[in-house]
Amino acid sequence: MSLRALALCLALAVAGCGSDDPSPPPPPAGSSAVVPPAAGGFPDPAPAAVGGSVGPGTACPIPVAFTVAAKWVAEDTTGAGLEMGNYRLRCEIDAKPAGLIGFLRVWVNPRQSDVGADMRDFLERIEGGTGATYRSLTIGGQAGYEASFRPGNRQGRAFAVRDTLVVWTTLDDEEFTAGLPAYVLARTTVSVP
């Protein structure tokens, strides 16, 4: 096999060519990896105990709905006017009442452009997630993406589906790990009205 043919085969394999899943967002040159859904970088503990929910008709009227972990408290942040890239902060789900420090932050993209590219731009330029690892997966019956990243010395996880991006970061690795079941609960219970 020629060197050119080998390079083409590798490029097609990384892009997920021929699979039924949508291709994950392409990684930035030299700084990110694309992994299949079952690969490392995405450990999923059991979901947290069920609490309330966010979505249309709730305290946080975001475009998608999902379940919030027990004792975590959602607050509508639409009036805060925070914008980052193509996204607007619409909801913060506070872990403090559950004894943790951190927030699940829900960002909404009113432009509804390229989900993967917008997520990648957000994590690279806004969260400082250099070296992020991405995967494509089905979220709420829709094509979505997930990223594992490190903003500074912390860990972070995020998922994006349609016009909604949910980001979990906190102060340190211990708090991140303790709050990860709440993030998993959110991601695995998404419904898209």
Q: Which pLDDT value is given to residue 171?
A: 87
Q: Of 10-24, 116-130, 134-148, 177-191, where does mean pLDDT reach its minimum?
A: 10-24
Q: Which pLDDT value is given to residue 78?
A: 93
Whose structure tokens read 């990384």? 14
User: Which segments within the chain are labelled E, that is strand?
Assistant: 33-34, 50-54, 66-69, 73-76, 83-84, 87-94, 103-108, 133-139, 142-149, 156-161, 164-169
Q: Of 4-18, 31-45, 60-74, 113-127, where does mean pLDDT reach its minimum?
A: 4-18
Q: Which pLDDT value is given to residue 106?
A: 98
Q: Nearest to residue 164, comparing CAs of 106, 120, 89, 117? A: 106
Spatial neighbors of 20 by CB under 8 A, at least 6 apart, are: none
Identify the sign of the CA torsion 45, 108, 61, 80.
positive
SS3 30: coil
Identify the sign of the CA torsion 143, 71, 88, 36.
negative
Residue scoring higher pLDDT (42 or 179): 179
- The domains located in the chain, with CATH, are 22-188 (3.40.1000)
**CA dist., res. 10 & res. 148, Å (int):** 23
Q: Which pLDDT value is given to residue 126?
A: 62
